Amino acid sequence: MPVTTNLVGRAFCCCLGARRVKQTLDIGLVYSRTGSYLRLSDGARAGVLQAVAEVNADPAGDWLIRVHEADPAGQQDHYAPAMLAVHRETGCRHFFGAMTSSSRKEMIPALERCGASLWYGAPYEGFEAADCVAYMHTTVNQNVIPLLDWTLPRLGRRVFLVGSNYIWGWEINRIARDLIAAAGCEVVAERHIPLGDTDIAALLDEIARTRPDIVLNSLVGETQYCVLRALRAAGIACRVLSCNFTEAELPEVGEAAEGLISIGPYFAQPGDVFDNSLARAGYLSVMNLVRLLSLPGANAAMTLPELLALGPGDIDPVSHHVAQPIVIAEVRGGAFAPLLSLPVTAGDPYLARTPRIKAERPRLRIVK
């Protein structure tokens, strides 16, 4: 796979009249530039490059970031080879990329073998805390749990679960079942669609037949867009929820997204710096890495756990998950309007600090 390299900014700066050479930091980008979730990758990549440009243009900064890119083209088995190719050719140890849990999990063993790290900036389903990964978007206690806690039974009691047929869809729906039962609500059906599949006629017929109040949509990429457009065209009246839909995807769906309710750490409002939460996560990933490398005792050869031990900031040094705000928002007039904002919440991927989900037990009595 070809590796491309670019510089954003200048290598030298003048400080108090003397020319000072910045230290060079090589980073790898492993974002798919083609494939069914291109819009997600483009959103995250834009945030990374925005941060790189700012760091390189800062005359008082210590670092010049050199970017090396490889395109896995949306193919799960291409991510680890793409990362390894960049590592072999450049020696870079910090990577930004992967937009699905399957691609992240493909990369982890390769990252561990070469002592590299991945800054992962997409929502995910929890139950993971790899030493080589910094989890910079939401996990389960920051997405599906607060979303359904607020939604049920406020918006209805009958829920149709539909997700992509891989880790994200499986785990989100597994947790959702517990939450739905605990709220005294009902799962009317659960279906999983292959990533990228747009043959959704049978799914649409089943949603129309079962008439749920709510569709919890854990689909990814083109399949999600196709389902949203089809629900709108068919005039099916139900509320659609998502734990991963962002502004990056609104142009792809248009009016079909109206009324969709999503959850995330950030939804862009007029005048905001970032276009979407994926760009924000990419930007904060680069800035956190530069901050860690600038701490006393840090150097570019240190592993992620070693760097976090120096000064983790808002990243938990044990779980490697970032603390961040939680916002629930609805698409209105082609943009997200916040419905509820919750305080900054630490990531809790194993629900060790989050109250256990318990369905109400039936009351039993002795019958003589």
pLDDT for residue 359: 41
Q: Which of 2-6, 58-62, 152-156 has the lowest mean pLDDT?
A: 2-6
Q: Is the pLDDT of residue 150 over 70?
A: yes
Residue 362 has pLDDT above 60, yes or no: no
Q: With 0-12 CB in 10 A as exposed, 13-18 as middle and 19+ as buried, what is 4? A: exposed
- Residue 21 has what pLDDT? 83
* Predicted pLDDT of residue 5: 67
- Listed in order, strand segments (DSSP E) in 16-120 are 18-21, 23-30, 63-69, 94-97, 117-120
- Cα 298 from Cα 311, distance rounded (Å): 10
Minimum mean pLDDT range among 35-44, 152-161, 177-186: 35-44
Q: State the average pLDDT over residues 236-263.
A: 96
Host H or E run for residue 102: helix 101-113
pLDDT (average), residues 185-208: 96
The DSSP code for 337 is: E
Predicted confidence (pLDDT) at residue 257 exceeds the cutoff of 80: yes
Burial of 147 (0-12, 13-18, 19+ CB in 10 A): buried
Quickly tell me which residue has 């989050």 as its tokens.
354
Over range 188-197, report the average pLDDT. 95
Domains, the chain: 4-137+270-323 (3.40.50.2300), 141-268+325-345 (3.40.50.2300)
Tell me how far apart the alpha carbons of residues 114 and 319 are, in angstroms, rounded to a whole number.
Answer: 21
pLDDT (0 to 100) of residue 361: 39
Q: Which two tokens stand for residue 348?
A: 């809790």
The confidence band for 354, taking pLDDT boundaries of 50, 70 and 90, is confident
Residue 37, pLDDT score: 83
pLDDT grade for 336, boundaries at 50, 70 and 90: very high
36: confidence class by pLDDT, cuts 50, 70, 90: confident
| Per-residue pLDDT at 8 exceeds 60 | no
Closest CA to 320 of 169, 52, 119: 119
pLDDT confidence of residue 312: 87
Average pLDDT over the chain, rounded to whole?
A: 92
Q: Is it the case that residue 357 has pLDDT exceeding 60?
A: no
